[in-house]
Structure 1
Amino acid sequence: MAGLDKRVATYEEALAGLTDNMTILSGGFGLCGIPENLIAEIRRRGVTGLTVVSNNCGVDGFGLGVLLEDRQIRKMIASYVGENALFERQLLDGELEVDLTPQGTLAEKLRAGGAGIPAFYTATGVGTPVAEGKEEREFNGRRYILEEAITGDFAIVKGWKADHFGNVIYRHTAQNFNPLAASAGRITVVEVEEIVEPGELEPSQIHTPGIFVDRLILGTFEKRIEKRTLKG
Structure 2
Amino acid sequence: MDKVVASAAEAVSDIPDGATLAVGGFGLCGIPSVLIQALLDAGTTELEAVSNNCGVDDWGLGLLLGERRIRRMVSSYVGENKEFARQYLSGELEVELTPQGTLAERMRAGGSGIPAFFTATGGGTQVAEGGLPWKYDEAGNVLLASPAKETREFTVNGETREYVLEQSIVADFGLVRAWKGDRHGNLVYRDSARNFNPLAAMCGRVTIAEVEHLVEPGEIDANDVHTPGVFVQRVVALSPEQAEDKRIEKRTVRPRPLVGEIDHPPSRNPGSEEAS
The TM tier, using the shorter chain, reads over 0.9
Larger Rg: 2
1:139 paired residue number? 154
Alignment: residue pair count: 229
**1:186 partnered with 2:201:** no
Q: Give the percent of matched residue pairs that are identical in Structure 1 and Structure 2.
A: 58
Q: Give secondary structure in 1 for the equivalent of 2:4.
A: coil
2:190 aligns with one of 144, 163, 171: 171
2:246 aligns with one of 218, 223, 228: 223
Greater RCO (CA < 8 Å, at least 6 residues apart): 1
Q: Give secondary structure in 1 for the equivalent of 2:202.
A: helix
In structure 1, what is the Cα distance between the partners aligned to 2:79 and 2:249? 10
Aligned pairs for 1:1-232 within 5 A: 4-131=1-128, 132=130, 133-140=148-155, 141-219=160-238, 220-221=242-243, 222-232=245-255
One-letter code aligned to 2:216: E
TM-score, structure 1 length as denominator?
Answer: 0.97
Q: Give secondary structure in 2 for the equivalent of 1:159.
A: strand
In structure 2, what is the Cα distance between the partners aligned to 1:217 and 1:42? 14
Q: Give secondary structure in 2 for the equivalent of 1:173.
A: helix
One-letter code aligned to 1:188: T
CA RMSD of aligned residues (A): 0.8
One-letter code aligned to 1:138: E
One-letter code aligned to 1:174: A
Deviation of 1:12 (Å): 1.8
Q: Give secondary structure in 1 for the equivalent of 2:5.
A: coil
One-letter code aligned to 1:91: Y
Worse overlay, 7-16 or 68-77: 7-16
2:144 paired residue number? none
Deviation of 1:92 (Å): 1.1
Structure 1: 5+ residue stretches without partners: none
Q: Give secondary structure in 2 for the equivalent of 1:134.
A: coil
